[in-house]
Amino acid sequence: MENGTQFIREKKERDFTVINNTVLKDARLSWKAKGLFCYLLSLPEDWIIYQSELLNHATDGRESLRNAIQELEQLGYLQIEKKRDDKGLFTTIYRVIENPNETDGSGKPDAENPMRKTRCGKPDTTKY
């Protein structure tokens, strides 16, 4: 018997998700945050994220989910924007960003947006 790791993979024809390896190799993120991110990318693009709904799809509690979301937000993988709708009610818009190194969430490469800003409007000086 050989030493090492064996991967038993199946041919993927349906029900799979393609993910940029950036998030998976980012050592600043916990496994929890990486798992949540992969789950979010597995959702349909027209799916609306509700934290209360996410709680129904894993064993983590509310605080664990919030911590994972906060990690992803702090490192640029998730942008959260609160807005008022036409009726004056607050809605939350989530932007899931596969590779924050390449875009600021607007779809434009960083070269076109050299001063990315944090949620509080200050320039983000984080180096990736």
pLDDT of residue 1: 53
**Per-residue pLDDT at 78:** 97
Residue given tokens 């993979």 in the structure block: 9
Q: What's residue 117's pLDDT? A: 43
Per-residue pLDDT of the chain (128 residues; tens, 9 = 90+): 567 898 888 888 888 899 999 999 999 999 999 999 999 999 998 999 999 999 999 999 999 999 999 999 999 999 999 999 888 888 899 999 999 988 654 544 444 443 444 444 445 554 43
Stated as kind and residue range, the H or E segment containing 122 is none
Q: Yes or no: say if 101 and 110 are a contact pair by the CB < 8 Å rule.
A: yes
Is the pTM of the predicted complex or chain greater than 0.85?
Answer: no
pLDDT of residue 127: 45
The reported pLDDT for the residue numbered 21 is 94
